[in-house]
Amino acid sequence: MSVFQHDYRPYDGPTTALWKRPLVLARYGLGEAWGSKITVGLAVLALLPCIVDLVLMYLANNPVAKMLVMRGNPLLEINEKFFLGMLETQCWFALVLAAWIAPRLVSFDLGDNALPILLSHPISRFSYVLGKFIALTLSLSYVTWIPLLVLFVYQCYASPVPWTMGHLGIAVGMFVGCAVWIVLLSFIGLAVASWVKWRVIATGAMFAVIFVPAGVGAIASTVLRTKWGMLLNFPVVMSELWQRLVGAPQLFPGRMDLPSPALVAVLIAASLACVAVLNARIRAREVVRG
């Protein structure tokens, strides 16, 4: 083919490896997600708390600033509790971002019935989901563990006393906590977006999937007088998990004493349910039974 000659010529150039094809999907997915001004706006908004935290860290670590601004107030301490607060804030921003981005990654494909064409190329359904998953996790990383670890590094640098070695667990805990949350959000986001073709409704459905079971779980806990209903409450489950990972003291001691394996099990179960939804929905062709 030639633009000028308008005739066809076969392609005999090099081709990329099969394993790189999901990265093509991820790259175009990122382009689609970040092509929206709303995405950029949300991402900027999500970084504002980090700037506030950065200022607080500066104040807490600078003796002169501490004296002038804080007037010797000892309340501001950079410890596990401080980082836990940061972690929770950023992770809830990640939920908002995921609710906006995930439908943009999948709904366009489903809405225009693009799956037959996409999957007629040498990518499998798994590769398709993997590509979208990578795009979503990278987007969410931008507002979660990346800024949090940058702030942790700053704290290590700014602390006037040896601080790093005694608090490495915070960094590991934040990273693992963010990773768990990102993976869960990505699974839920992609599953919801694959189920609901309309983007606005998919965004709403994403919040519903997180908060409606929480309400059901709270009712179940109250009516049945059991703590196990709280396992349906993703915000509580994640708060508990983050608190244990970072090693912060419990905010409300005795409120919930669910074992860690139960928390992990409910997250795995939710992820598997999302995989099942994706398996049912991401298909080149629908087969009508009967």
Partner 1 sequence: MGVIALDRLEVRLGGRTVLNGLTGELRGHAVGLLGPNGAGKSTLINTLLGFHEPSGGNAKVLGLDARTDRMRIRQSVGYMPENDSFIGNMSGVRFVRYMAELSGLPPAAALERAHEALFYVGLGEVRYRKISTYSLGMKQLIKLAQALAHGPKLLILDEPTNGLDPTARQRMVQLIKEIRKEGSMHMLISSHLLRDIDETCDEVLILKKGSIAAISNIEEERRSHRNFIEMEMTGNTEAFAEKMQALGCECARFAGGRVKVVMPDALSQRDLYVTAAETGAEIRRIQTRRDSLEDIFLRAMDYEGGRIDHVSLPA
Instruction: Work out the angle at residue 188's Cα, subtended by the Cα atoms of residues 182 and 190, and round it to the nearest 5 degrees.
Output: 95
Return the residue of 122, 160, 259, 261 that touches partner 1, per CB under 8 A. Answer: 122
Return the residue of 38, 112, 228, 251 that touches partner 1, per CB under 8 A. Answer: 112
Q: Least distance in Å: CB of 203 to partner 1? A: 16
Residue with tokens 């001691």: 253
Return the residue of 28, 142, 163, 195 that touches partner 1, per CB under 8 A. Answer: 28
Q: Is 118 in the site for partner 1 (CB under 8 A)?
A: yes
Q: Is 18 in the site for partner 1 (CB under 8 A)?
A: yes
Return the residue of 89, 109, 139, 245 that touches partner 1, per CB under 8 A. Answer: 109
Q: Is 289 in the site for partner 1 (CB under 8 A)?
A: yes
Return the residue of 44, 48, 67, 117 that touches partner 1, per CB under 8 A. Answer: 117
The answer to whether the CB of 232 falls within 8 A of the CB of 217 is: yes
The answer to whether the CB of 232 falls within 8 A of the CB of 220 is: yes
Burial class (CB in 10 A: 0-12, 13-18, 19+), 158: middle
Q: Is 34 in the site for partner 1 (CB under 8 A)?
A: no
The answer to whether the CB of 238 falls within 8 A of the CB of 181 is: yes
Which is nearer to partner 1, 58 or 108 (by Cβ)?
Answer: 108
Residues 6+ positions from 222 with CB-CB distance below 8 Å:
229
Q: Is 87 in the site for partner 1 (CB under 8 A)?
A: no
d(CA 75, CA 85): 14
Give the binding site for partner 1 (CB under 8 A): 1-3, 6-16, 18, 21, 24-25, 28, 32, 108-109, 111-124, 283-285, 287-290
